[in-house]
Amino acid sequence: MSDTALRQAIAQVTETVAGGTAPIIRTFFNEPTFTATHVVHDPATKRAAIIDSVADFDQPSGRITHASTDAVIAYVRAEGLTVDWLLETHAHADHLSDAPYLQEHLGGRIVIGRDILTVQGVFGTIFNEPESFARDGSQFDRLMQDGESFALGSIPAVALHVPGHTPACMAYVIGDAVFVGDTLFMPDYGTARADFPGGDARTLFRSIRRLMQLPDETRVFLCHDYKAPNRDTFVWKTTIGAERTGNVHVHGDVSEDDFVTMREARDKTLGMPRLILPSIQINIRAGHLPEPEDNGSRYLKLPINAF
């Protein structure tokens, strides 16, 4: 991973805090999946990004609806925003992306990290995807790599590769805010699991330490919150300073070896996410459904004893 990319992100945050235009961020929380979808926009130009969208999926019936996304769409239209980017921090295992529905109604380019190719390869094999399933990331409009720059109107942005939870995890630094996906949770809850195929606790620790080099005042927006013990409200916003000094799993006094020991032991106690099987099949397709079969219906697979 490039130190140049991190220096660029640090300079961007520092400049924004010192007087640049900070992005405005509105979060929509989907409680059934504990997922935070963030709408980020430049107040000067009204250019926007939507990060980690959520489709409403009723597993017993197999029905996909869009009430959660419709609320996002209503906000975007009420604010007069133009959506340029539909950013995915990774191929989620706990909810279905609704990026194609957003794209249909609001436009924007669907983006994920370049290492989605690794994830597509692994899960394409697990689900025995047909030859027609492309494992080259072509379902997405853009694949970003570490240090790649983009912009939200007049606000600069940079993508940072932060693998560990999955090989393809990306954090997006937009102005003075960083969107970290599942890499970090609130300081009182800790860090993401690292036991999915391609995950690695040691790699996760190094990715987190890299993020913690951002300035203390960097705003941190999370993809999930599960309410830590003794906390009654959902929270999805913190700072790098708070994570560095107070994260219960990975504050500054925790060594790499101690973190790996803790994370690997904890992960062994965790069950699979409730929606992992449908979610992965959809999300490695950029939120698109599998192609219909000869009867016109679309199907998701349920591999037996695959995990």
Token reading at 220:
């941190």
Distance of alpha carbon 166 from the chain centroid: 10
Instruction: Give domain 3-279's CATH number out of 3.40.718.10, 3.40.140.10, 3.40.50.300, 3.60.15.10.
Output: 3.60.15.10
Handedness of CA 1, 161, 194, 209 (dihedral sign): positive
What is the predicted pLDDT for the residue at 3? 86
Residue 297: C-alpha distances to residues 2, 96, 129, 279, 285 (Å): 45, 19, 16, 18, 17
pLDDT at 2: 52
What lies within 8 Å, CB to CB, of 188 at 6+ separation is: 228, 231, 246, 248
Residues 275, 58: Cα–Cα separation, whole Å: 10
50-61 burial, b if ≥16 CB within 10 A, otherwise e? bbbbbbbbeeee
> What parts of the chain have a pLDDT lower than 50?
1
What's the order of all strands across the beta sheet hosting 47-51?
A: 24-30, 35-41, 47-51, 82-87, 109-113, 142-144
- In a 3-state reduction of DSSP, which class is residue 93? coil
Rounded Cα distance, 184 and 165, in Å? 10
Provide the residue ranges of all domains of the chain, joining segments of one domain with +.
Answer: 3-279
The residues, any chain, with a CB within 8 Å of residue 82's CB and separated by 6 or more, are 46, 47, 48, 107
Instruction: Report pLDDT for 1.
Output: 44
d(CA 29, CA 228): 16
104 contact partners, CB below 8 Å, separation of at least 6: none
What is the token pair recorded at 262? 């803790």
| pLDDT at residue 106 in the model | 98
- The predicted pLDDT at position 162 comes to 97
